[in-house]
Structures are given as C-alpha cells and as structure tokens.
Structure 1
C-alpha cells in the first residue's frame, strides 16, 4: 500500500530554482536574489517585537509569547484595545497604531492579591508549590460560591492554606498558620469550618504521627527518641489515657516522656516552643500518661533514666 504522506512543495524561483531565496520580514516577502521575483508573501516574523539584550544568541528567544497564563484567572487572555479620540497615535505613514493591552478586572485583581498572599505563606512555611496551588484553587472555589461575603480575604487565604496542608498530608497547626498570616487563630478556625460546609468537602483527621517527625527534628532529637515518642503517643491514644486532648498536646507530652527517659532530655518549655503548646497543657497530658508509663514505652527502648526516676509532672 502506497504511503499517503506527501511533502509540501518547496518554494523556489521558477527561473532560478537553485538560488536561495531572501526573506524580507519588513515587507513579508520571499525574493529571488538573482532576478528580484517575489516568490512568496505574507511571511510571519517569528522574532521579537522589541530589542533584547540577551547574550545567548544561539538560543531561542521566548519574549514574543509573553508571560504564562494563569488558569485560575478568568480574564487571562490578551485583548486588543483600539484607541480613539483626538490624540490617536499614528505611525510614520499616518496610520493609526493598534496596541495590545493587558486588561484585568477587579475580580481578577482580587484573586491575584490572594494568590500572592497564599504563595508568601507557603514560602514562610517552607511548603512545596503544589500546596500553595491547592490553596489557591480552594480560594477560587470559595470566591465563586459567594457564600463567604464579608469575610476578609486574608482570613480565607489562611483557612485555605490550613485545609490544603491537611489534604496534602502535611498538616500544620493553627498556630503555625496564624504565625505566617495576619489573622487570629480563632478567626482562622471559624472560616475553616465555614469553608468545609460551603464546599461540602472534608479533611483527614490529624494524628500524633503527623507532627512527631517535624517536632523531633526541630528539637534535634535522634531517631531513637522519635520512634519511642511515636509509640508512646499511639499507645496513649489506643488506651484512652488522654481523652479530649488534641493530637498536638499528646505528641508534645510523648516527646517529653521519651526525652526524659534518654540522655537527650528536653524541658517542657523547649518542647512547647516548638510545638506551639503551653507548658501547662503538656504537663496535664503528661500527668495522665505517667501512671501507665511502663506500658507505653516500646519493649526495645534503651533507658538512660529508669521509669521510676522519671518526673511525675
């Protein structure tokens, strides 16, 4: 079976077929240099429309295509605005000049400001860009629903970042979100609940293991202490020793117990500063766990301080 693929005919001068054609981009013509015959017209100039000062002459210049479009914006296209009036700009031949202008409505401007705030929060929290993108998508969905009118965009941005972190499996505490935003913890929690109700979505419940590795790393504790604290926190939850306590306070109390039984002792204040938990909260959770300390530690844990000598509070 014969192939149906055919090469397009080569453009050449009928009188001088071997002569290389000259492209005149100003006029948009292809001219034969021997006889001056215009062989082709309407040649598209793929170069830039302005001067560039790049030293890399052998690479392609992408300046002509402009900036990348943001799919989260409604008016991200380039529109042509025709200028009218007595002060109409003209070229050297007296023809009107048509300019492409980037137009943006107030809604897109508000979205851009919100996306910028979300990206800044992600940078302060050292989060990957996909977390900020998820938060930006949540913010746009909230804006389109128009159910949170009257709430400040900063509060919605902070709540969206909190939800995105939990949905992506890298949860952050409300205090951590509060520290990188201008909104109080109470307001972020209130908007967080409203967003979940508005978007009819849910988030996974946070556990002590979600924060354990990060807290131990920030405290400079070894892997042995981290494994012991993780086991202690999980057993305390399974044995219902800390009912009603937040996973963050349970994780902090477990780290305190594991560190006190090792040679890498940390105070309640040091742990509280990293976990964002008050010392009294850690103390209360620790007092609930201390009577069952023997059952909480893993069997292979190496004690530098016996359980009998652990602090009682």
Structure 2
C-alpha cells in the first residue's frame, strides 16, 4: 500500500510503502524507515449483514512489552460497592476483592511510567535524527535491571531514566552527548545525569567506555549538512590526527577538523560559528584554540586526494 509522508532524509513528501509483516513504513526514494512496528488499526475480521451486531471480534490494546511481567497483560476484578456484614462477606456471602488482588501486577505498573518517559525522550530526539528501537529497548532494560536491584527506590526517577538512555547510546555505535540528553530530559541537570550515570555503572557492573572523536564526527558532519566527500575527508583527517598528541575535548577536535575541511571544500563555506553550533554547541573560542593546535599538522592529516599541498594556503592562519 503506497501513500505520501514527509521523509526526514529527503526533506519532502515522498511515496511510502507499508510492510504489514514487519510493521514498517518505508520511504520509496531513500529507503529510510519512517515508522517501525506500527499498529494496524484497520479491521481484522470481515463483518456480514446477518452477523450479530453485538458481537465485536476486534482486538484492542497495544503490543505486549517483553520487559514487563506477563507483557503487562493482567485481569482486574471489579469491586461492587455493597455494605459488608460483620463476617466480612457481601450480600451474596462472597468475600470481596482485597488489596492482594492487584499486587501481582504492581511491579509491572511501576515500570509503565518510566518506560513512557523514555519513549517521550526518544521522540524528542527523533525530531532531529531518530532513535533506533534497539537503543530505546536497551535503555528500558537498564532501568528494569536497576529497579530489580532496588536502585530506584527513594530516588528521583527522571535523572535515572536520562542516565539509562545516555548509557544505552554510549554502549552502541550511535553516540549522543550529555548535553543532548539533558535538553530532552526536561528537568535534570547535566551534573545530576552524569552523577547518576556513574552510580548506575557501578551498581550494574558496566565498564566505562572512553568517547573518542571517531564516535562523534558522523552526526556533527550531518548537522552541518556536509557532502559525502567532505565527510570522508573529516574521517580520514581524524584518523591521521590520532598519531599526534592533541589533548583536547573530542567535540572540539571534531569541530576544528570540520572547520579545516570546509575551508578547503569547494561547495561548503561555513563560518566557525556555524561549525561550532553543529558540533554540539562547542564554544567558538574553544574551536579556534583547538584549530590553532591542529593547524601545524594540516599537511599531514588532510588526505591528498581531497586537496593539493598548495591548496592548504587557503586555510586561515590562527
């Protein structure tokens, strides 16, 4: 079934096709999955004129979540308001439902709100690039592990959920920065999320992973709208730069290399302010200082296929 929807990659409305088996909505131009595991709300059964109108075979509710006990499928007993006698039974002689009836599902219900909060954070990030479902599920799994260890008891859950999402990104190849997670968390500060992340890692036994410039350059280059050729030049320049001792923050290193490449590019003439903003909002002064440190190695890090040696004279002298 084909329809038209707005594609984030194509930046326009394109024809999309729905894969009912996998539940994906796919752009026919670039192949981007616009929506994954959607719920088909069309009629599941055929209805006939002579069928009992009171019989409704349509199933309702969203798909079950494997992270919740029994997929959050539960049975609730309706408690009719009747006066009980001294024996504690109702008018029919039956004992009324008590608090033990729903205790079995209380643990799953306590996870529904945090999972919803994680989904909302992912939706806010989705405005820009999208969050793979595997990362969101991993973040939910981290929160459930922490909850099973009573780590969440008596704590503000918002910093914990933000820390879980940040950890899920760090353990994948799709790295997001602390600043980005703080923006979509709507409440917790960078300091709170960072502190909670370290506490979670100790409690769950997660080894620390050092973030490098190679983890950050693809997204920063995409934010600036760089061409494939320019992106390849940034990647190779960062690989070559690893042979030198540049003691700077990975974000500022990527920003400085991007600024160097856009000066040598024929189709991209961005200012240092635009480059700094694309690199997760690095301060312009920090980008300039890092650029000054890297500038002496320009002839050794910029790939020869991207520009000739004499073209390096176009670089601004710091």
- 1:294 aligned partner: 299
How far apart are the structure 1 equivalents of 2:79 and 2:153?
A: 37
How far apart are the structure 1 equivalents of 2:297 and 2:43?
A: 70
How far apart are the structure 2 equivalents of 1:280 and 1:150?
A: 42
**Pairing partner for 1:79 from 57, 75, 81:** 75
Q: Which structure 1 residue ranges, 4+ long, deviate > 6 Å from structure 2?
A: none
Which structure 2 residue ranges, 5 or more long, are not aligned?
1-41, 48-55, 85-91
Shift of 1:164: 0.7
Shift of 1:81: 2.6
Residue 67 of structure 2 contacts residue 141 of structure 2 at CA under 8 Å; is this kept in 1?
A: yes
- 2:270 aligned partner: 266
Residue 155 of structure 1 contacts residue 188 of structure 1 at CA under 8 Å; is this kept in 2?
A: yes
CA RMSD of aligned residues (A): 3.3
- 1:120 aligned partner: 120
Which structure 1 residue ranges, 5 or more long, are not aligned?
1-53, 89-93
- 1:137 aligned partner: 141
Greater CA deviation, 130-139 or 245-254?
245-254
How far apart are the structure 2 equivalents of 1:301 and 1:239?
A: 20
- 1:156 aligned partner: 160
Shift of 1:295: 0.8
How far apart are the structure 2 equivalents of 1:56 and 1:85?
A: 37
- 2:290 aligned partner: 285
- 1:216 aligned partner: 221
Residue 233 of structure 2 contacts residue 261 of structure 2 at CA under 8 Å; is this kept in 1?
A: yes
Shift of 1:238: 2.0
Shift of 1:247: 1.8
Residues 222 and 80 of structure 1: CA distance in aligned 2, closer, same or farther (over 3 Å): closer
Shift of 1:228: 1.3
Residues 80 and 111 of structure 1: CA distance in aligned 2, closer, same or farther (over 3 Å): closer
Shift of 1:56: 6.2
Residue 44 of structure 2 contacts residue 58 of structure 2 at CA under 8 Å; is this kept in 1?
A: no
Shift of 1:171: 0.7
How far apart are the structure 1 equivalents of 2:275 and 2:300?
A: 23
Shift of 1:289: 0.4
Q: Structure 1, residues 189-214: CA drift from partner, whole Å, max 9, x if none?
A: 11111111110012543322222222
Q: Structure 1, residues 169-226: CA drift from partner, whole Å, max 9, x if none?
A: 1110111111111222121111111111110012543322222222222212111211
Residues 210 and 146 of structure 1: CA distance in aligned 2, closer, same or farther (over 3 Å): same
Residue 253 of structure 1 contacts residue 285 of structure 1 at CA under 8 Å; is this kept in 2?
A: yes
**1:234 matched to 2:208:** no
How far apart are the structure 2 equivalents of 1:228 and 1:290?
A: 15
Residue 45 of structure 2 contacts residue 58 of structure 2 at CA under 8 Å; is this kept in 1?
A: no
TM-score normalized with structure 2 length: 0.69
**1:146 matched to 2:150:** yes
Shift of 1:280: 1.5
How far apart are the structure 1 equivalents of 2:172 and 2:297?
A: 34
How far apart are the structure 2 equivalents of 1:227 and 1:112?
A: 43
| SS of aligned partner of 1:72 | coil
